[in-house]
């Protein structure tokens, strides 16, 4: 799978998110429509693992904290960017979400959690901030950013 095929795989998720408020209602609907048991969730998870193995996803960083943007915001992505991080038992760098953040958590280690939650979707509303935290082992976190906006605290 290449980046264009991955973008095609993400299309139904991006279409569902397009133009909607980035809030708990969106998280609830993502968890219902694209639950960890759904074919779409499983396909995205398998594609992330394959892309990491191929070396084009999570190509930056070091063992325990690898990351990378795989889709830039554009009209065909409904102005959403997609980044994927591979994290293991870590508190990541503090940052804020000017336009919000939609996260898909994929535990690699059984029981691993991202910001206290297991497999599934969570949303950080516009203006929120956090230090992304993975506990209990390793997890992949795919996150979509409206307009690709993220601000790291210096």
Read off the pLDDT of residues 23-41 as tens digits, 9 standing for 90 and up. 999 999 999 999 999 999 9
The token pair at 120 is 């599934």
- Residue 152 in any domain: the answer is no
What is the model's pLDDT at position 49?
A: 97
Cα–Cα distance between 139 and 151 in angstroms, integer? Answer: 22
Cα–Cα distance between 34 and 23 in angstroms, integer? Answer: 16
Cα–Cα distance between 88 and 90 in angstroms, integer? Answer: 6
What pTM was computed for the model?
0.96
As a residue count, the chain comes to: 154
Structurally, how many domains does the chain consist of?
1
Share of the chain above pLDDT 90, in %: 98
Q: Which domain holds residue 21?
A: 3-147
**Do residues 17 and 144 lie in contact, with contact meaning Cβ atoms separated by under 8 Å?**
yes
CATH number of the CATH domain containing 22:
2.60.120.10
Cα–Cα distance between 124 and 38 in angstroms, integer? Answer: 22
> How many C-beta atoms lie closer than 10 Å to residue 116's C-beta?
8
C-alpha 120, offset from chain centre: 10
What is the model's pLDDT at position 34?
A: 98
Instruction: Specify the 3-state DSSP secondary structure of 106.
Output: strand
- Residue 63 in any domain: the answer is yes
- Residue 154 in any domain: the answer is no
Question: Tens digits of per-residue pLDDT, 80-107?
Answer: 999 999 999 999 999 999 999 999 999 9
């Amino acid at each position: 799978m290449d980046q264009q095929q991955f973008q095609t795989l993400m299309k139904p998720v991006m279409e569902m998110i397009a133009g909607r408020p980035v809030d708990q209602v969106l998280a609830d609907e993502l968890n219902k429509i694209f639950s960890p048991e759904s074919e779409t969730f499983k396909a995205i998870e398998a594609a992330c693992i394959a892309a990491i193995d191929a070396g084009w996803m999570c190509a930056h960083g070091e063992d325990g904290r690898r990351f990378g943007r795989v889709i830039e915001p554009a009209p065909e992505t409904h102005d959403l960017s997609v980044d994927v991080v591979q994290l293991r038992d870590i508190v990541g760098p503090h940052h804020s979400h000017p336009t919000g953040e939609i996260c898909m958590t994929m535990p690699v280690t059984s029981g691993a959690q991202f910001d206290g939650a297991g497999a599934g979707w969570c949303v950080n509303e516009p203006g929120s901030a956090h230090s992304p935290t993975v506990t209990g082992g390793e997890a992949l976190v795919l996150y979509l950013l409206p307009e690709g906006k993220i601000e790291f605290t210096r």
